[in-house]
Chains A and B, each alone.
Chain A
Amino acid sequence: MNDRKLKQLFTLAQKQAAPAPPADFATDVLRALRGEPPARAPQTLSGFDQLNSWFPRLALASSTFIVLCVALDYGLTAAGVPSLSDGVSQLSAQWLLTPTGL
């Protein structure tokens, strides 16, 4: 395939006429976009809106974290390791509820 033939191919293909838009094309487009307002310039979201949009994901992440902590606590207790709640009680007894503690 030499350059001359390639150029000839492009020249011929250029001549192919595009299909004409149907007479009612603009009406069809208008029908399709009915009820859909044109987008204005990008709006800035308030902090509350952003938080609102993040809420489902944050709620899911928090729930997952809580479930994982509970499962870990049960797992450690079953394995004989002092559970997290025991640890916290021990800590309070040693440091917080002693006469020298807070």
Chain B
Amino acid sequence: MNSTETTGDDAELLERILGGATDDFAELVRRHQSRVFAILHRYERDAQKVEDLAQETFLKAWRALGQFDGRAPFEHWLARIAARVALDHLRKEKRRQNEIGLPELGDDALDWLRSDDEKNELDVRSAAELLELAMRELSPADRMVITMQELEGRSVKEIAVAMGASGVAVRVRAMRARSKLRQALEKLANEKL
């Protein structure tokens, strides 16, 4: 099964779980695990850490299951928990990164970054590495807005709900974050010369 199960199916399952059928939670995890992994992978590239964060997400969901009112699809509620787990993770990582410094960037990514030639191509892996490195210059909240908007294709309204902010605040943050990201990429290109 995948994350496109209907809310009705989830509702039945949730009812059974809250009624004491703990084992059925595994079925709920199986339904939504791919989506949760996909969300968390936008913020953390290490597969083992993604797994740990996914587990944390499902444990938090388990603890708060009684608060799910069923007004929105379960997967949206779960996605918000995953986003919060990711944000907490980014905050912790930000503190840690300030202590250990930045990793090296590959030559392909640097060449692409400096080149104005449209024919110069970049592979998916290098692009993800480059973006990850530049994103580290952003605050966790800025990074979250850019990731949700540009990589997950979420609307301003969805981001606002996930972050507990107003639509205007999200728009302003997105604009500033994009500008900071551009500066970070330029800095990366110049620093390595």
Q: What 0/1 readout, one digit per residue, does chain B (22-55) give for beta carbons within 8 Å of chain A?
A: 1101110110011001101100000100110011
Indicate which residue in A1, A26, A42 contacts B182 across the interface (CB closer than 8 Å): A1
Q: Is the CB–CB distance between A15 and B181 below 8 Å?
A: no
Least Cβ–Cβ distance between A46 and chain B, in angstroms: 19
CB contacts (< 8 Å) of A47 on chain B: these are none
Check: B90 CB closer than 8 A to any chain A CB. Answer: no
Are A33 and B50 also in contact (CB < 8 A) when A19-B41, A26-B33 are? Answer: no
CB contacts (< 8 Å) of B185 on chain A: these are 1, 6, 9
Indicate which residue in A10, A26, A39 contacts B131 across the interface (CB closer than 8 Å): A10
CB contacts (< 8 Å) of B63 on chain A: these are 36, 38-39
Indicate which residue in A8, A19, A21, A32 contacts B59 across the interface (CB closer than 8 Å): A32
Are A39 and B186 also in contact (CB < 8 A) when A12-B127, A25-B54 are? Answer: no
Q: Is the CB–CB distance between A12 and B128 below 8 Å?
A: yes
Q: Is the CB–CB distance between B17 and A38 below 8 Å?
A: yes
Bound: A22/B151 CA distance, A:
24
Are A14 and B25 also in contact (CB < 8 A) when A25-B54, A33-B62, A36-B63 are? Answer: no
CB contacts (< 8 Å) of B118 on chain A: these are 4
Q: Is the CB–CB distance between A22 and B51 below 8 Å?
A: yes
Bound: A33/B113 CA distance, A:
46
Indicate which residue in B37, B55, B64, B150 contacts A39 across the interface (CB closer than 8 Å): B64
Which residues on A are within 8 Å of B, measured CB to CB?
1, 4, 6, 8-10, 12-16, 18-22, 25-30, 32-34, 36, 38-42
Which residues on B are within 8 Å of A, measured CB to CB?
17-18, 22-23, 25-27, 29-30, 33-34, 37-38, 40-41, 47, 50-51, 54-55, 58-59, 62-67, 113, 118, 122-125, 127-128, 130-131, 150-151, 178, 181-182, 185-186, 189
